[in-house]
Amino acid sequence: MTNTYLPYYKFFKDPLLIKAELIYALQESRDRCLHHSTKFLSELMITLKSIPPYFEFENENNEFIRFELEPAFTNLEDYLVYFKARAYFDLEDYPSCAHIAKHTNNSKSMFLHYMARYLSMHNECIYERTNLFDSFKPVNMRAYMELLDELLILNVYRSEDDSDEESEEESQSQETSDIDTVNQKHSVQQLEDDSTPKGRRCSRRPRSLRIEKASSNTLGKKNKITKRNIITKKVKVTTLAAQSENNMSAGDYKEARIKREDPYLLWLTAVMLKRIDRSDEAIDLLVRSLQIQPCFWGAWIELATLVKDLHMLDALNLRLNESKENHWMHLLFIAHMYVDFQITDRAVNIYNDILKLGHTVFQDWTYIQAQFAIAHHNKREIAHAIVSFKTVMEMDPFRIDNLDLLSNLMYVCTSTDELVVLSKYVASIDRYRQETLCVLGNMYSLKCDHAKSVLYFKKAVRINPFNVTAWTLLGHEYIEMKNSYAAIISYRQALKINIRDYRAWYGLGQIYELVKLPNYALFYFTHARDLRPRDYRMLVSLGEMFERADRIFESMACLYKSLFYDTDGTILLKLAKFYDKYGDTGNELAREHFNMMNKRALKTGIKNRTTIELNLILSKIYLYLGHHYMDLHCCDRAISFAEKCRDLWKDTETNNCQSSILNKVLEHVDALLAEIEIRAGSDCSLASTSNTLKARRFLFGL
């Protein structure tokens, strides 16, 4: 892993460039009221507080890099309009904000205009929903599509008007020549008065995409558009495309187009496209946004919600790294995706390498410590996860992000007192945060007050309808209340938001298992198993559903796969049913068929093992079942399993090294038979001897 991502770690080793980029990205996010991105970048900036903010330096390749602030406003009018619109935006008076910033060309004011219109529709959708389970679609779809069309024309269609140019070439030839005449009189400074956002230079564009000095081939100033009329924009964009195509090559045109793009408007367009299930277009726009501004964390998170599988992630990584820059934020995105995909080992390795190979200041970054806690949570390493979450709380006492996951762990451990303390702690910070409501819901659920628990989870999803954890926990509570219909809808809402949420898939499987629809449950358990292949609970549930569908071979294969995670013999007892039903039958043909199927299922469930290793696993199963039936006073059945274990090794060829294994197995068989004889002579009432305990310790050395 270290060799694969080695080009990324150089940024963490010497974080001067990271801090220089953060200054610009933080200013851009703050000025556009993107609070979550601002929070993330500010947290990292605080971590790098001991790193001096150098703005001119040479890197290890002797490349001179200079960062300079660019004035955000070119005149007093833009300045006053922006701050008035910003004041309305902060007051959540979105219609007023959109109206004030309607006729400006400043990039920040333009973003506030479009963002205010979008949030106004978003809030309307939240407030107008009478039924919590209604589809979360815009109430006024016509206004929503009009806004989306404006954004698409501003960000997409203007760069794809070659076909329009051909169809309108004759009618616009005179207008094109007039624009060419005007174009020769304008300088590059006037380029930034374009109808697209101006006065913006992003933090880390590739050198080939940065704005150069004035040249004869640069685009001229377009006529200022004072009304956001779709038809008017379309004509002017087409005209500009026509005249610019005559003056520059295809490569230069693409470069100039990228210079004019605003990454934040591209992100907003992608968010709106995602809401109406146009995911492929949203991904394209997010990639373009991140190529311009790779420090925009909100775009990375939005992109993460659109990645469905590892193949898609690999293809996306290739697109994001076309420029071969190996941006450090891309590495954080990859690790974040590994945590999402439950590939926690890879994620933990990346975070450990950042801490080992990077600067020591990253040891105090709460984000990485929180990701460690989430990784332990996903691996069901409950003790380590709780310690990691408490470490994050010590580093930042008022950071309650992800503490709903900590409450899940306390719920699983039935730590009622600790969960009550945690709920009081988060409620004292902010009682109306969605994480706080989830913690309170878990606390009441552990106290078996499911009605009150449902109330808090409903509040959480009303505050944020895209909270996957709240929807999933709400489904769990409805199962406890025997409300299967509401539970199914809750789980389906969670899957609409995040199709990779294994808890929702598993919950749906449990519901269909309860209503005795094993084929439906099999479908959902299979998806849960694909998302969590190492979670024995998924394999056991899948094995039980295969058994109900009379697919014995697949059932045993699933149980054998989960055998390595069996710490208390539960899975071995499930296997005992098959041995009792088919292995001890009086029909010799059925018994032989079961033995063949059993070995084939063992090879399928436990791959890349030799015959000796498979026989050793079967021996341990037989020995365990022998001890189990001896404890149940079924001495005859216990003896039969001991003899099966002995017969398993009769025709097996072993070398010197394997002979010791065989001798150890036979020693345990003799100990089992001796224990059975002792118990049979005393009416099977003696307690377990030291040999029995020794044998039980041997069983779980799989």
Q: Does the residue 104 lie in any domain?
A: no
Q: Are 206 and 325 in contact (CB under 8 A)?
A: yes
Residue 679 corresponds to which tokens in the numbers above? Answer: 């118990």
pLDDT beyond 50 at 571: yes
Residue type, 662: L
Per-residue model confidence (pLDDT) at position 166 = 41
440: domain CATH number is 1.25.40.10
The residue range of the domain holding 468 is 400-483
- Distance CA(219)–CA(215), nearest Å, equals 9
For residues 467 and 510, membership in a common domain is answered with no
Residues whose CB is less than 8 angstroms from the CB of residue 602 and which lie 6 or more positions away in sequence, other chains included: 556, 560, 614, 617, 618
Give the chain's count of helices (H) and strands (E): 35, 2
Q: Are 560 and 702 in contact (CB under 8 A)?
A: no
Q: Does the residue 662 lie in any domain?
A: yes
Task: Encode pLDDT of 446-473 as tens digits.
Answer: 999 999 999 999 999 988 888 999 999 9
pLDDT beyond 80 at 176: no
Q: Does the residue 295 lie in any domain?
A: no
For residues 616 and 695, membership in a common domain is answered with yes
Q: Does the residue 227 lie in any domain?
A: no
Task: Encode pLDDT of 632-662 as tens digits.
Answer: 777 777 787 777 777 766 666 555 556 666 7
Task: Encode pLDDT of 197-244 as tens digits.
Answer: 333 333 333 333 333 333 333 333 333 333 333 332 332 322 323 333
Strand partners, 537: none
pLDDT beyond 60 at 196: no
Q: Does the residue 464 lie in any domain?
A: yes
For residues 346 and 408, membership in a common domain is answered with no
Greatest Cα pair distance, the chain, in angstroms, is 112
For residues 519 and 581, membership in a common domain is answered with yes
* Angle, alpha carbons 410-469-285 (nearest 5°): 140
Task: Encode pLDDT of 513-567 as tens digits.
Answer: 888 888 899 999 999 988 888 788 888 888 888 888 878 778 877 877 777 666 5
Q: Is 198 helix (H, G, I), strand (E, B) or coil?
A: strand
Per-residue model confidence (pLDDT) at position 544 = 85
For residues 475 and 556, membership in a common domain is answered with no
For residues 391 and 431, membership in a common domain is answered with no
Strand partners, 106: 198
User: 99 vs 68, which has greater pLDDT?
Assistant: 99
For residues 560 and 622, membership in a common domain is answered with no
pLDDT beyond 70 at 163: no
Task: Encode pLDDT of 271-323 as tens digits.
Answer: 999 988 899 999 999 999 999 999 999 999 999 999 988 899 999 988 888 77
For residues 414 and 388, membership in a common domain is answered with no
For residues 446 and 513, membership in a common domain is answered with no
For residues 363 and 411, membership in a common domain is answered with no
- Domain end among 350, 379, 395: 395
Strand partners, 571: none
pLDDT beyond 70 at 61: no
- Distance CA(584)–CA(590), nearest Å, equals 9
Q: Does the residue 512 lie in any domain?
A: yes
Q: Is 167 helix (H, G, I), strand (E, B) or coil?
A: helix
Provide the Cα torsion 484, 488, 494, 495; round to 10°.
150
262: left (phi over 0), alpha (psi -120 to 50) or beta: beta
Summary mean pLDDT of the chain:
76
- Distance CA(177)–CA(242), nearest Å, equals 10
For residues 556 and 511, membership in a common domain is answered with yes
Per-residue model confidence (pLDDT) at position 600 = 62
Tally of domains within the chain: 4
444: left (phi over 0), alpha (psi -120 to 50) or beta: alpha
What pLDDT band is residue 687 in, cutting at 50, 70 and 90? very low
- Domain end among 454, 483, 512: 483
5: domain CATH number is 1.25.40
Q: Does the residue 114 lie in any domain?
A: no
Q: Does the residue 291 lie in any domain?
A: no
pLDDT beyond 70 at 42: yes
Q: In sequence order, what DSSP letters do the residues of 287-302 get, joined into one string?
A: HHHHHH-TT-HHHHHH
Task: Encode pLDDT of 367-402 as tens digits.
Answer: 999 999 999 998 888 889 999 999 999 999 999 999
Q: What is the mean pLDDT of residues 89-100?
A: 93
**Residue 660 burial class via C-beta count within 10 angstroms: exposed 0-12, middle 13-18, buried 19 and up:** exposed
What pLDDT band is residue 589 in, cutting at 50, 70 and 90? low
For residues 572 and 506, membership in a common domain is answered with yes
pLDDT beyond 50 at 258: no
CA distances to 480, 580, 626 from 586, in Å: 44, 11, 19
